């Protein structure tokens, strides 16, 4: 455990590569054309923000990023995909908005990451543009809450299709419907209003998060690694913000919740899940190897 904490502490000093000047001018110009603020945190400085936040979560994963194959779902301006690429992953990043795909490509060029990220436009509701079992890692950063509820199980099933056995689905930055305030819009109590109300009062334009159980129900057999290793998240969050509650208290809460099948990441205002896809069981019958599906939900 000490080596892991030390590696995380050393990573604080890691810096983004210098931005290419010409590519930066081009990207900022495109942002302005499409209505984004080049100086805003989630505009021109989005990669910097993700470097100081999601990077710590990626570095804590119990899997090697360098040389891995990763899919980012809903790449927006490409910030998360760029961070993954700079950490050594070969990334495919998809988005339903072709403008975002174009901006993300320009953003990656600023950091010399364009060769390690393939940005793809994927029509809403269409299957993911990848063969089965293509990826070691699927990342969903603040995206699943924007998927129509009726379409969410189909999307998660397709994520399962493209993920290799033993691979990880990482969900984070996602507004948690358990909380009284919706994380992205700031609306109070909208999470608790039934969706049927949208048809009765369409002008309300209520925003809602999703619950962990909406995700896990669509991915049977997956194991949330945070049940057994809450320190993966707690140490990462401590790196992101020194104001987070003391890790020892959160670790105690994680121990209390574990027998209930609830990980600490299921209860944060932004939902965090590290879901491991089960591996097929291999047995030998008469000297011949056969593969069967696992009997339990344990990875």
Residue 12: is its pLDDT beyond 80?
no
Confidence of residue 285 (pLDDT cuts 50, 70, 90): low
Domain limits, the chain? 22-194+203-292
Q: Average pLDDT, whole number, for the chain?
A: 88
Residue 294: is its pLDDT beyond 60?
no
Confidence of residue 240 (pLDDT cuts 50, 70, 90): confident
Half-sphere exposure of 10 (CA within 13 A, CB side): 6
CATH of domain 22-194+203-292: 3.40.50.150
H-run or E-run covering 174: strand 163-175
Residue 113: is its pLDDT beyond 60?
yes
| pLDDT (tens digit per residue) in 206-233 | 999 999 999 999 999 999 999 999 988 8
Residue 87: is its pLDDT beyond 70?
yes
The token pair at 116 is 């390690």
Which pTM was predicted?
0.89
Distances (CA, A) of 287 to 209, 280, 291: 51, 18, 13
Confidence of residue 2 (pLDDT cuts 50, 70, 90): very low
Partners of 119 in the beta sheet? Answer: 93
Q: Is the dihedral of CA 176, 178, 183, 187 positive or negative?
A: positive
Q: What is the dihedral of CA 98, 103, 108, 110, to 10 degrees?
A: 160
Confidence of residue 19 (pLDDT cuts 50, 70, 90): very high
| Other CB atoms within 10 A of residue 27 CB | 26
The token pair at 118 is 């393939």
């Amino acid at each position: 455990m000490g080596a892991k904490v030390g590696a995380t502490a050393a990573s604080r000093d890691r810096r983004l590569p210098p931005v290419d000047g010409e590519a930066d001018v081009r990207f900022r110009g495109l942002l302005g054309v499409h209505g984004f603020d080049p100086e805003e945190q989630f505009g021109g400085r989005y990669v910097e923000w993700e470097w100081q936040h999601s990077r710590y979560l990626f570095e804590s994963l119990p899997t090697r990023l360098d040389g891995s194959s990763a899919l980012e779902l809903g790449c927006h301006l490409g910030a998360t995909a760029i961070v993954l690429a700079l950490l050594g992953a070969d990334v495919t990043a998809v988005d339903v908005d072709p403008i975002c795909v174009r901006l993300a490509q320009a953003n990656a060029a600023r950091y010399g990451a364009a060769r390690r990220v393939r940005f793809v436009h994927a029509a809403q509701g269409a299957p993911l543009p990848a063969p089965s079992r293509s990826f070691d890692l699927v990342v969903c950063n603040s995206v699943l809450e924007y998927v129509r509820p009726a379409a969410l199980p189909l999307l998660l099933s397709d994520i399962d299709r493209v993920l290799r056995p033993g691979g990880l689905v990482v969900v984070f930055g996602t507004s948690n419907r358990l909380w009284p305030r919706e994380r992205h819009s700031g609306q109070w109590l909208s999470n608790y209003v039934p969706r049927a109300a949208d048809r009765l009062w369409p002008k309300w334009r209520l925003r809602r998060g999703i619950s962990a159980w909406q995700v896990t129900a669509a991915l049977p057999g997956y194991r949330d690694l945070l049940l057994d290793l809450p320190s993966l998240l707690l140490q990462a969050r401590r790196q992101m913000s020194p104001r987070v509650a003391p890790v020892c208290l959160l670790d105690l809460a994680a121990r209390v919740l574990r027998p209930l099948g609830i990980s600490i990441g299921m209860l944060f205002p932004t939902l965090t899940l590290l879901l491991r896809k089960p591996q097929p069981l291999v047995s030998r019958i008469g000297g011949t190897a056969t593969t069967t599906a696992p009997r339990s939900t344990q990875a």
